[in-house]
């Protein structure tokens, strides 16, 4: 790719006028998505309404990729591989506690990670770019299912995303409550962690609660495993290598006077290094099996739903930084934000194509809302900035090798 001086930002006022004219529709669209959240690979309504808007604008929409994914292409001036701009569509299995008008109408489901906003910003860019001059290269607008634990990016790739839509580079964006609205963050190298989910089954021997000596209680054994896992990140790796092990589910028993036969733990392990991730998996297995054996019980540990680290490539990240600084000012761009221990399946795309994943500030003044929280809501005030970033990037990115 080239990061040349041919970027044309002279019509910023005109572009922002066009974006602002579309904001009432985009706000309404985003809130409609928020009212009707759908879990991973169930995004049927979401895909339908997005596809309808794209088709009304004149796009040919490829449906059903990776399950419920959509792709629409805007033809560029030059033939050959283009770029992917990607947004995720799925919601989370959380019961919303907000009481505003656009709160979720689906019990036990809500857009607690802002994917409704991601979808809206990319749709806004696609609709607007259809009215502007053609970009240098093809732009593939990818609306992806199943980011939340389903590896939807991987599934779209397995369905031939990069073959059916030849791709030179990939770009993604996530709202970030730790940054104020109007600010952006990015970095070269890993910006999000590699992660894997785990399930541990501890098998003991059930007994009467009044006769614990007649059985093997799996609950204190499971508790001991949880506690010892914390020594792994504190004492079994270098302090300068980030890692986190979180046990997020503990299931055991059916009543209060019976010691159960078994207990189950579930959680995630995350690192910025695939080598360290593999090492910790081995240590976790050794600890779980060892503690169970000491108590005469058994333990099995299963790892699943692997996400690689999200690693930004240098040339593409430098280009994105240039776009952001010219659009929003250098003071609003954090070019070396700390890597986050959250995981993102956009990392699968970055394993096969160069590209960059950025953070767009979502925090309103005085807000403490965090992602994956029952009180979270996407900040509609950042829609315009997200649309502008996508449009400017697509209008100016060149897929040609740097000279």
The pLDDT tens digits for 116-148 are 999 999 999 999 999 999 999 999 999 999 999
pTM: 0.91
The pLDDT tens digits for 199-219 are 999 999 999 999 999 999 999
Sketch out the chain's domains with CATH numbers.
12-190+309-396 (3.40.630.10), 194-307 (3.30.70.360)
Question: Span 96-104, mean pLDDT?
Answer: 97
- H helix intervals, 205-313: 218-235, 274-294
d(CA 341, CA 343): 6
d(CA 172, CA 359): 9
d(CA 320, CA 337): 14
β-partners of residue 359 are 174, 185
* Mean per-residue pLDDT over the chain, rounded: 94
Closest alpha carbon to 384 in 171, 9, 128: 128
Provide the pLDDT for residue 189.
Answer: 96
Given the DSSP bridges, would you call strands 139-144 and 82-88 parallel, antiparallel or unpaired?
parallel
β-partners of residue 311 are 190
The pLDDT tens digits for 230-288 are 999 998 899 889 999 999 999 999 999 999 999 999 999 999 988 899 999 999 999 99
């Amino acid at each position: 790719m080239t990061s040349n001086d041919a970027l044309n930002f002279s019509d910023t006022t005109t572009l922002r006028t066009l974006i602002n004219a579309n904001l009432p529709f985009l706000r309404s669209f985003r809130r409609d998505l928020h009212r009707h959240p759908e879990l991973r690979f169930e995004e049927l309504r979401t895909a339908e309404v997005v596809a309808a808007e794209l088709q009304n604008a004149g796009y040919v929409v490829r449906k059903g990729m990776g399950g419920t994914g959509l792709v629409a292409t805007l033809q560029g001036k030059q033939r050959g591989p283009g770029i992917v701009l990607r947004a995720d569509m799925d919601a989370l299995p959380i019961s919303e506690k907000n009481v505003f008008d656009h709160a979720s109408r689906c019990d036990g489901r809500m857009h607690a990670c802002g994917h409704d906003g991601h979808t809206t910003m990319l749709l806004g860019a696609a609709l607007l770019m259809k009215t502007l001059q053609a970009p240098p290269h093809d732009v593939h607008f990818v609306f992806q299912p199943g980011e939340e634990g389903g590896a939807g990016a991987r599934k779209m790739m397995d369905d031939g995303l990069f073959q059916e839509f030849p791709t030179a580079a990939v770009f993604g964006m996530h709202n970030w409550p730790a940054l104020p609205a109007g600010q952006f963050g990015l970095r070269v190298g890993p910006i999000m962690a590699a992660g894997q989910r785990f399930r541990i089954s501890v098998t003991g021997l059930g007994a009467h609660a009044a006769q614990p000596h007649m059985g093997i209680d799996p609950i204190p054994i499971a508790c001991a495993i949880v506690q010892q896992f914390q020594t792994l990140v504190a004492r079994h790796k270098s302090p300068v290598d980030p890692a986190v092990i979180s046990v997020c589910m503990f299931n055991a028993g059916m009543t209060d006077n019976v010691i159960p036969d078994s207990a189950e733990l579930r959680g995630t392990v995350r690192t910025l290094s695939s080598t360290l991730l593999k090492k910790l998996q081995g240590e976790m297995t050794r600890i779980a099996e060892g503690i169970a054996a000491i108590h005469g019980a058994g333990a099995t540990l299963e790892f699943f739903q692997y996400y690689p680290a999200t690693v930004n490539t240098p040339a593409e990240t430098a280009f994105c930084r240039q776009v952001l600084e010219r659009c929003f000012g250098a003071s609003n761009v954090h070019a070396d934000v700390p890597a986050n221990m959250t995981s993102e399946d956009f990392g699968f795309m970055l394993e096969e194509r160069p590209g960059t994943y950025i953070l767009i500030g979502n925090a309103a003044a005085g807000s403490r809302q965090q992602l994956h929280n029952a009180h979270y809501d996407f900040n509609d005030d950042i829609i315009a900035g997200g649309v502008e970033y996508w449009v400017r990037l697509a209008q100016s990115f060149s897929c040609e090798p740097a000279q």
